[in-house]
Amino acid sequence: MSNTKSLRDKVAIVTGAGRGIGAEIAKLMAAHGARVVVNDLGGSEQGDGADQTPAQAVVDTIKEQGGEAVANYESVSDWDGAHRIVEQALDEYGQLDCVVNNAGILRDVIFHKMTEADFDAVIAVHLKGSFNVSRAAATHFRKQIGGSFVHMTSTSGLIGNFGQANYSAAKLGVAGLSKSIALDMSRFKVRSNCISPFAWSRLIGTIPTNDPEQEARVAKMKEMTPGHIAPLAAFLCSDAADEVTGQIFAVRKNEIFLMGQSRPIRSIHRAEGWTPETLANHGIPALAPSFYGLDRSADVFSWEAI
């Protein structure tokens, strides 16, 4: 167990904590003194099924290392279930200080073949799930004047990626949700931040490896283990992060990035107003040098993780 105990006396909920990034966050937070509600429905990468084994295994590991944790098997996509997660934290430990919205699924498919079910399922877990759990905790955070939210976003939404319209929309939505929470709840000393993780997990493990280039890409990604994400999440839930809110971070192996947020980068003005013709002849040509290309995450983060 850690000697620093930066999360001593804190109670945290970590969703999707049965495996991967969530499991590493839950274990590290417990090692730093937090009592943790380890939430995991136990579904597949696509969100099917319910296996209680992963969440309980993380709880067992935490307890073996001298920490405190309980398992929870609710679905974050269910409003009542999300409230039961918060209620369990309050019933078990009498308080709640941190929420890490990590639960997620993938249903990757090229856009023109994506079904309504593919879209709805991913939005329900990532975006609505983050809303549900955050909203359930918000009333308590407001009452106690304090709390920290950490939400998982993705460069698939912040930048772009192939075959992930559902996931990209959800993850960019999570960034907007986090900023709104930060703005609305700052008066109650409640913080809200995002992490965009680069890490090998079972979700990333669904990426096809049909050619040498894809195989090489996946091999490099395997070096970016979930454990690299956990320290930032633990920090953001600690009192040392009291002044950090409304931010978007990315973590890639040993690199931490502060990500940009949408701001004006160039403007045009015409005193008499614009017409389609003047836009074509003057307006858009003036803006075009600052256009963004059809970049994917891998195009922007083009160097190997260090």
Catalytic residues: 167
Strand partners of residue 257: 250
Q: Contact at 8 Å (CB) between 20 and 226? A: yes
Q: Return the DSSP state at 282.
A: I
Quote the CA–CA distance of 171 and 106 in Å, as a whole number: 12
Nearest to 23 by CA among 177, 230, 197: 230
CA 25 centroid distance within chain: 12
- The amino acid at residue 238 is S
On whether the CB atoms of residues 267 and 254 are closer than 8 A, the answer is no
Torsions phi, psi of 146, nearest 5? Answer: 155, 150
**To 10 degrees, the CA torsion angle through 166, 172, 177, 183?**
-170
d(CA 176, CA 44): 27
State the DSSP H helix or E strand holding residue 81, giving kind and residue range, or none if neither: helix 79-93
Do 163 and 108 form a contact (C-beta atoms < 8 A)?
yes
Contact 105, 45 (CB under 8 A): yes
Query: What phi, psi does 216 have (nearest 5°)?
Result: -65, -40
3-class DSSP state for residue 71? strand
The span from the CA of 118 to the CA of 193, in Å, is 27
Residues near 147 by Cβ (< 8 Å), separated by ≥ 6? 96, 97, 98, 99, 137, 138, 140, 141, 185, 188, 189, 190, 191
